[in-house]
Amino acid sequence: MADTRTFADVRTAYRSAQKNTGIEEKVAFYNTWSESYEQDAAMLDYRAPFLAAECIASHFTSEKERAIILDVACGTGLVSRHLKKMGFRHFVGVDGSEDMINLAKKTGLFQEVKQCMLGQDPLPVQDESYDVVVIVGAMSVGNVPAMVFKQLWQATKLGGFVCITTRGNADNCQYKTELERVIQSMEEEKKCRRVSVTVVDKWEKAVHEHESGYIPGVIYLCQRT
């Protein structure tokens, strides 16, 4: 069935993913989307997983082989797959969708994959345990609340990194502003510092009628202080 998918199918799926629905409905959608997710991401030219991994690898100066990565909203494991190619070896995944988790487990990338309803449940991990905490794709309107950044920070070791991506299009403007406000408040409390903010013009192909071509996106890399 996946082989017959069209860009119209992809547009429909991505619009559904961005709808502001309840957590149970959202998870049910991701369960049904899991089998065609990677093909849809390729059709959309969704570059965020690679770009986030590249950002992390370029700023991580310790031994990559020994680093422990927490891949939050890991999906099928796209981000960790790229990070492994860049020298990282140890991954723990977290996702809300059982079907996505099952696919992630099949990759053999993860030492462990845990289920968690982000925004509703606390992260099922120990505080200050991870060299890098990364979340790609989920921090946007209709998905994970911006305040979840604080949970990501809490799971990060002192001196470790939190990497977050979000879309930069008009529909996500208010969420992006709120996310930046949360990060700034943590900086003002001397809990983290922004290492880099990377704006990418060609993030993914547009899926809404009022947009054309590609939409922009942003990668935030913060260090726990």
Span 163-174, pLDDT tens digits: 999 999 999 999
Residue 3: predicted pLDDT: 63
Q: What DSSP character marks residue 121?
A: B
**To which residue do tokens 């845990």 refer?**
114
State the DSSP H helix or E strand holding residue 134, giving kind and residue range, or none if neither: strand 130-135
Q: Which parts of the chain have pLDDT scores under 70?
A: 1-3
Residue 1: predicted pLDDT: 46
Whole-Å CA distances, 167 to 3, 46, 93, 137: 27, 11, 22, 8
Residue 10: predicted pLDDT: 85
pTM here is 0.94
Instruction: List the structure tokens of 169.
Output: 């299009």
Residue 163: predicted pLDDT: 98
State the DSSP H helix or E strand holding residue 196, giving kind and residue range, or none if neither: strand 192-205
CA gap 200, 194 in Å, rounded: 17
CA gap 219, 14 in Å, rounded: 20
Which own/partner contact pairs does 14-20 have at CB distance under 8 Å and 24+ positions apart?
A: 14/40, 14/44, 14/207, 15/207, 15/208, 17/142, 17/143, 18/140, 18/141, 18/142, 18/143, 18/171, 19/142, 20/141, 20/142
